Amino acid sequence: MRSSPTTIVAASLVALALLISRQPSAIVHPQLFAEDGKVWFHAAYQFGPFRPLLWPYLGYLETFQRLVAGAALLLPLTLMPAFFTGVSLVVEVLPVAFLASDRLAPLLPRRRVRLLIALGYLVVPAVQMSSAYLTQTQWYLAVLTLLIIVAPRSNQPWWRAFDFVVVTLSGLSGPYAVFLAPAALALAWIRRTWGQIALAGLVLALGLIQLGVLIYNLPLQRAAELAPVHVSLMVGAELVATRMILVPVLGTPLGFYAAQLGGPILLLGVLAIGLAMLAIALAHGSVEERLAITVGLVTLGATLLLERHFWLAMLHSSGLMRYWFFPTMTWLAILAIVAFRARTHWARPLAVILLGLAFLVGGPSTWEFPAIPNRHFQAAAVEFQRARPGQSVSFEEDPPGWSFVLTKR
């Protein structure tokens, strides 16, 4: 059955309501987060909306965030946080709308299965990543791009335009095109349609652009993080077992308590179960599902390699939980494939139990994000609007310690 526009709109509105329920303060008093003001808007205001588009940040291009910041220059400064919040929520809802459409129906004919995937995407247990911040949109654009890559090509012109715009913006907004390009090329080789080949060429070109920018800028911008550092493989194993596998199922703090009480024996057992589930999912999943899992695992590997200085911080701090967005979704996808497709007698019921726990325990345990503190952006914006040219005004952001200064032109 083809999904009507009404179904897509209804699913999007439900998704929006669920996101707002996780952090109502984002709507009550929208604020800026970290790079939202200090990097994106500050550069747009001081240098104009176009020059910063070619400036890398943390080693790669962040075009979408800079485009939105440039567009915010057309609005009164007091509306800028609300504009950023609105854009961020729309971007996060887009994968749900895509899943509610019929684009993935040839691969997943049952709409309720696609909507269940959408719900899992919205819940993403144990990942404290606010929906309200522009800085986070690169993750959601990458998810939407992955869905576009694995979906069969559409003959409708507006769907083609949608795919091109989303893939281009995503590819130029974060390093994910580098990880997605092999999957796109593999599907182009398997399907051998002109549409799939053209899409793979676009993703490859964007990936090469970001890779070139990364190679040139990463040693300059993150030299300290790339310096040799001693890391314990046991810490890495504990990190994966706890953050990716255990906590999403049992939630917080139960998952951490279990990891601490169980010690190395429990963690090794968790890793063994995870590897077994991975092997079964790769054996029984479709080509598209295998490629999606591979993208998630490659992203995990790159994150652990580049952020190896922060392994202990990732293990003990909630501030870096956004790095587990893709790994957690990959783990949920592995469990779903085993639960629905595997023919292994012991694995299928175990996957069903673990997946049920993720939805009923893991997700609710971290459903409500911490309230966004009011940094009094509106008062600072009014002060800035009344300032004379040459005067400077300081703006506070979330998290504590982040701020930026605008000088009135």
The reply to whether 227 falls in a domain is no
Structure tokens of 294?
Answer: 């591979």
User: Residues 239, 342: one domain?
Assistant: yes
Single-letter code of the amino acid located at 223: A
Q: What's the structural domain count of the chain?
A: 2
User: Residues 35, 176: one domain?
Assistant: yes
User: Residues 264, 351: one domain?
Assistant: yes
User: Residues 133, 268: one domain?
Assistant: no
User: Residues 86, 63: one domain?
Assistant: yes
User: Residues 350, 381: one domain?
Assistant: no
- Per-residue pLDDT, 303: 80
User: Residues 378, 362: one domain?
Assistant: no
User: Residues 80, 209: one domain?
Assistant: yes
- Per-residue pLDDT, 146: 95
User: Residues 171, 217: one domain?
Assistant: yes
User: Residues 1, 15: one domain?
Assistant: yes
Structure tokens of 86?
Answer: 């609105």
The reply to whether 226 falls in a domain is no
- Per-residue pLDDT, 124: 74
Domain with 106, as residue range(s), is: 1-221+373-409
Q: State the helix-helix crossing angle for 287-306 and 137-150, rounded to 10 degrees.
A: 150
User: Residues 162, 242: one domain?
Assistant: no
User: Would you write out the chain's pLDDT as a tens digit for each of its 409 residues?
Assistant: 456 788 899 999 999 999 998 888 888 888 888 899 999 999 999 999 999 998 999 888 999 999 999 999 999 999 999 999 999 999 999 999 999 999 999 988 888 888 888 988 888 766 656 667 898 899 999 999 999 999 999 989 999 999 999 999 999 998 999 999 999 999 999 999 999 999 999 999 999 999 999 888 766 655 545 555 556 677 778 888 888 888 888 887 777 777 777 778 888 899 999 999 999 999 999 999 999 999 999 988 888 877 777 777 666 665 556 778 888 889 999 999 999 888 777 889 999 999 999 988 888 887 887 777 888 888 999 999 899 998 999 999 888 888 999 998 8
Q: Please answer whether residues 180 and 142 qualify as being in contact, where contact means their C-beta atoms are separated by less than 8 angstroms.
A: yes
- Per-residue pLDDT, 123: 83
- Per-residue pLDDT, 172: 96
Number of DSSP helices (H) and strands (E) in the chain, helices first? 21, 4
Residues 6+ apart with CB under 8 A from 203: 145, 149, 167, 171, 177, 180, 181, 184, 185
Residue at a domain's end among 336, 352, 367: 367
User: Residues 166, 258: one domain?
Assistant: no
What does the alpha-carbon distance between residue 358 and residue 109 come to, in Å, rounded to a whole number? 24
As beta bridge partners, residue 59 has none
